[in-house]
Amino acid sequence: MKERTRRALRKRWIVGAIGLALTAPRTVCAADEAGPRLAASTLSTRLGNGLEVVLSQARQQPIFSVAVRYRVGGRDDPQNLDELAHLVEHLSFRRSEHFVHDGGLRITGLSGVSDNAYTGVDDTTFVSHGPVSALPRVLWLERQRMAFALGSLSSEDIVSERKILENERSTMRADRVGGMFWQFVSAELYPPEHPYAPRPERGCILRCELRHAQWLMQRGYRPDNARLVVVGDFEVAPVLDSVRKLFGSIGNPGVSLPAVADVPARAEHRSITIAAPVPRCRVHLWWHVPGTMRAQRRALDVLGAELRLLLVTDLVDGVGLASDVGVGVVPRASDWLWSVHIALHPGVDPKLVERRALAQVARLRRETLPIEFARESQVTELLEAWEDLDTRAELLASEHFGFEIERAKGEQSRVSAEDVRRLAGQLLAENPALSVYVRRAVDAPRRGSLYEEPR
Amino acid sequence: MRPGSLRLSRLLALAMVSACASGKREPFYVEHPLTRTQQLPVEAPPPIGRAERPLLPRITETTLRNGMLARVVSRPGTGLVSLVYANRRARLGADYLPVFLGDALLAGARRTDGQLVYPVATAGAFPQVRTGSSGTTITLTCTAHFFLEALELLASVVQRPVFDPTWMRPVRSQSQLDLLRMGALYSDWALAMWHSRKSFELDLEGVAGRLSGVDQQALRRAHYEFYAPEDSALLVAGDLSPAPALGAIEQHFSGWAQATADPRQAERSVPRTAAPAVGTAESDSEAPRTRRQIIVTEGDGYPSVSVIQDAPPVPSADDVAFELLSRLLTDDGSSNLLKTLRYEQGHAYYVRAHTITLPERGRYLFIDTSVAEETITSDVANVLRALRRLQSTPVDDRDLAGAKARFMAEIADSLSSGAGVAWYLAQVHLRATPALESIEARLDATTPEDIRRVAQRYLDPERATVGVAGKVSESLAALRELGEVTIP
């Protein structure tokens, strides 16, 4: 996501003379008479063609955020065409049968709208935000993408976007593991036939042809495989009417997406070391979250915050072994992961850090710890996500259908210390499913041939 | 047609029919017609109306008797409150010490009642410290009923840091690491100084080493020098009432004494442990730039390209027009450059523009992209051509309207959350940027001719500096035709 530009105002208020006693508070900037408009309501519905629609009011500014999420992603890449879903995402920006513009299927230059898209393992999400005056045009464009982009693709587009994709992949190599980190991790977590397992050949997308892109787009970019979320300063009824008119008539093709293979993840504990020219060593630990625990998402979040607090206190603030700690749930359709990432200070032994981290995990399983701080942090995060339009749109696009903020907040607030201890006992086995050390090796090749070391 | 081939085609047709009949399809079967919605009516694209102006926050402010500024914006119903402490004296410039000091503030503090606070956290939130070239901010967002607790924490950190040696150890390591990670920032600074022929020194490892010598006493003196109420502001936005909030701020901060020491004395008392990153006017080159320079450094992946140009100071009469000009060059604007490099040629994934400000050393525009080595020369030439076009031809009215709409949308976006509002107000304190109330009028008044005027005044493609990071050994000869290549 592009970093938001924060612009500033010039100070125009003249402060009182130095030495003045505290002056009475004064209102110095003429705001709109109504003040901030924060009342909000959310509506979830499903159109006849299966398209899920979520409309959520956010009246604080005359702006909107739109997210359209298609449930097609890296898991749907054929064995011999890695990144096909990503390529199709790129292609969908080029044009439609009825909209040809030299700036692509976008309106950024005309309206102040900013847009982007992400291809994940399960889904592809198109996001845009801008002044609410441009919302009708953005919805119209999303209809173009859903109904009319497929028929406009050409072989020249494939050649051009393959180059762009290669360029993008190059810029994503900032982790200095050559963009290969998830390839290594997924190969350990999943057997080859699992949808999340890495494809056997990296870069084979360069063999992609027009028919391959058409195949995936026809199956993935369709109303019964999508959710449309609109957040912003609008009245729900007219926008819903407009959505019905624009999207309700789009039919689904006779073909369906190939079913996602139901293959269990590897169960046994595994560990690998990746040597790469990274600036600092890292330790990563993963546990699989059993399907039965997914309903306890709020408690999982509190558990994550609690573990992070313990690890920060011990590893960062305490002995100074690590500089950053991240803990959280990675909810994916076929396998939820519980992840811990620790960035080490130079010269610190990763084995020592892993041992200390697992000791804190054991403490969570064993003891009922005070969780007020962790719970409060998660309530704050939830409210912050809801207040920010873009984050709310992404939240509504990814959370279960019919998500309600007040209910989620209530669930979050009711998580007890005993819930957390019990959940830790069920979820966090003594050894994680996978532990990874990323070792600093300045002599390791920078691209393409990174190697794994046996422990 | 030969009889044999007829038999073969019949056999193939038979095989296809039987495959379809048995439900088997080729692996990449595509159903036709491709577009299952050909019967759908084709509507004209709806018009885009004029963007509404952003809703301005209702700010209630006061100045404490010690000179500190407090501003509060009420946003009822959100359940959250965001606080930003802003200090424009502790800024990253010739000295790294303010950055280290900012980190050190989080190594423990004393509350009003004298109790130690460690670790520095409250109400589910850890404060975040950021020090840049315009000052230091400490931000904290929590649920509204913890406002007073958050205020107490910020007041403790800012006024009564402890710098306990034990707690400082990890902070020091972190600061040193952060310094070494600032390579990207400093490489921008280095390019900007190269472009303006001003002196620049960089010794990150040396600075990191010297930070080890900054002890508790030195930090206390530095804190006294850099943290003073008269250069500070507290900005609060959230679910609270302004008057009681301002009262609480007064209670927590009005006892903070103004700095009374002679600044020259402070200068001597604080050890200058950090090497100067940016030189002084005396050390600048006096020779003017005569031609284009291309600076080539190592890098991974596709070469990244930055074209550096001068930018007007802020505030100035040209700042709004120049902001629009920079949007016209990037993804967010109607960028002819992006159309050329991405959609026509398939060479670039993005084109972005950003400005950087170096304290007392000027402001610079960077146009960034990433391209393949095989095409780098023509791509750089395209960027330079786009700059020349801005100087010679007035921009299209529609493109300019789009850039204006984006500018306003960014402001509205910044003001759409409590954290955004508080941050925005902090930037008001730290940077002198155009007043929000006048921006709309200034945007309306900006014409295509204004864009051309500022392009002619600040852009100079013939003497641009081009930074290239990546492997371009095969293209060096071609790059030399664009300008003087230097490999530092």
The predicted pLDDT at position B75 comes to 94
Pairing, β B232-238 against β B69-74: parallel
Q: Is residue A393 pLDDT above 90, yes or no?
A: yes
Closest CA–CA distance from residue B18 to any residue of chain A (Å): 19
Chain A partners within 8 Å of B434 (Cβ)? 9-10
Q: Is residue A53 pLDDT above 70, yes or no?
A: yes
Whether residue A358 contacts residue A367, with contact meaning beta carbons closer than 8 Å, is answered with: no
- Give me the residue from B31, B57, B429 closest to A254, CB to CB: B31
Contact B121 A373 (CB under 8 A): yes
End-to-end CA distance of chain B: 69
Angle between helices B418-430 and A372-387 (to 10 degrees): 80
Nearest residue on chain B to A319, alpha-carbon basis: B170
**Dist. CA A102–CA B288, nearest whole Å:** 40
Q: How many helices (H) and strands (E) does chain B have?
A: 17, 14
Q: Is residue A221 pLDDT above 60, yes or no?
A: yes
Closest CA–CA distance from residue A268 to any residue of chain B (Å): 34
The predicted pLDDT at position B470 comes to 86
Which residue from B431, B414, B413 is spatially nearest to B355, judged by alpha carbons? B431
Percent of all residues in chain B with a pLDDT value above 70, rounded to a whole number? 84
The least confident of A430-434, B32-36, B158-162 is B32-36
Contact A5 B410 (CB under 8 A): yes
**Dist. CA A123–CA B8, nearest whole Å:** 43
The predicted pLDDT at position A276 comes to 80
Position with higher pLDDT, B207 vs A429: A429
Nearest residue on chain B to A137, alpha-carbon basis: B46
Q: Is residue B113 pLDDT above 70, yes or no?
A: yes
Mean pLDDT of chain A: 84
Nearest residue on chain B to A94, alpha-carbon basis: B343
Confidence class of residue B38 from pLDDT cuts 50, 70 and 90? low
The per-residue pLDDT for range B242-276, each reduced to its tens digit, is: 999 999 999 999 999 876 554 444 444 444 444 44
The per-residue pLDDT for range A249-302, each reduced to its tens digit, is: 998 988 887 788 899 999 899 999 988 877 778 999 999 999 889 889 999 999
Chain B partners within 8 Å of A38 (Cβ)? 75-78
End-to-end CA distance of chain A: 37
Whether residue B387 contacts residue B464, with contact meaning beta carbons closer than 8 Å, is answered with: yes
Q: Is residue B190 pLDDT above 90, yes or no?
A: no
Chain B partners within 8 Å of A9 (Cβ)? 424-425, 427-428, 433-436
Chain A partners within 8 Å of B331 (Cβ)? 2, 108, 114
ipTM of the modeled complex: 0.85
The predicted pLDDT at position B157 comes to 94
Whether residue B236 contacts residue B81, with contact meaning beta carbons closer than 8 Å, is answered with: yes
Closest CA–CA distance from residue B221 to any residue of chain A (Å): 24
Angle between helices B319-328 and B448-458 (to 10 degrees): 90
Closest CA–CA distance from residue A297 to any residue of chain B (Å): 18
**Dist. CA B324–CA A410, nearest whole Å:** 45
Provide mean pLDDT across the span B324-331: 85
Nearest residue on chain A to B239, alpha-carbon basis: A38
- Is the whole model's pTM more than 0.95, yes or no? no
Chain B partners within 8 Å of A111 (Cβ)? 48, 51, 402, 405
The predicted pLDDT at position A450 comes to 45
Q: Is residue B302 pLDDT above 90, yes or no?
A: no
The predicted pLDDT at position B227 comes to 94
Which residue from A235, A196, A245, A221 is spatially nearest to A75, judged by alpha carbons? A196
Q: Is residue A34 pLDDT above 90, yes or no?
A: no
Chain A partners within 8 Å of B177 (Cβ)? 280, 323, 345-346
Contact A132 B52 (CB under 8 A): yes
The predicted pLDDT at position A213 comes to 94
Closest CA–CA distance from residue B450 to any residue of chain A (Å): 19
The predicted pLDDT at position A102 comes to 63
Chain A partners within 8 Å of B88 (Cβ)? none
**Dist. CA B220–CA A173, nearest whole Å:** 42
Question: Helices marked H in A399-454 — which ranges?
Answer: 405-414, 417-427
The least confident of B328-342, B351-365, B427-441, B466-480 is B328-342
Q: Is residue A452 pLDDT above 60, yes or no?
A: no
Whether residue A66 contacts residue A127, with contact meaning beta carbons closer than 8 Å, is answered with: yes
Q: How many CB atoms lie within 10 A of CB B302?
A: 25
Confidence class of residue B401 from pLDDT cuts 50, 70 and 90? confident
The least confident of A29-43, A58-72, A398-412 is A29-43
User: Which one of B349, B374, B395 makes the best mutation probe of the A interface by having the most chain A beta carbons within 10 Å?
Assistant: B349
The predicted pLDDT at position A40 comes to 57
Chain B partners within 8 Å of A8 (Cβ)? 424, 427-428, 430-433
Contact A112 B432 (CB under 8 A): no
The predicted pLDDT at position B124 comes to 80
Chain A partners within 8 Å of B344 (Cβ)? 102
Q: Beginning with the edge strand found earlier in the chain, give each strand of the sheet holding B135-143 in spatial order.
A: A26-27, B59-63, B69-74, B232-238, B80-87, B135-143, B128-132
**DSSP state, residue B200:** B
Confidence class of residue B407 from pLDDT cuts 50, 70 and 90? confident
Provide mean pLDDT across the span A110-137: 91
Closest CA–CA distance from residue A269 to any residue of chain B (Å): 32
- Give me the residue from B52, B124, B414 closest to A62, CB to CB: B52
Confidence class of residue A176 from pLDDT cuts 50, 70 and 90? low
User: Which one of B26, B31, B37, B185 makes the best mutation probe of the A interface by having the most chain A beta carbons within 10 Å?
Assistant: B37
Cα–chain center distance at B313: 17
Provide mean pLDDT across the span A53-72: 96
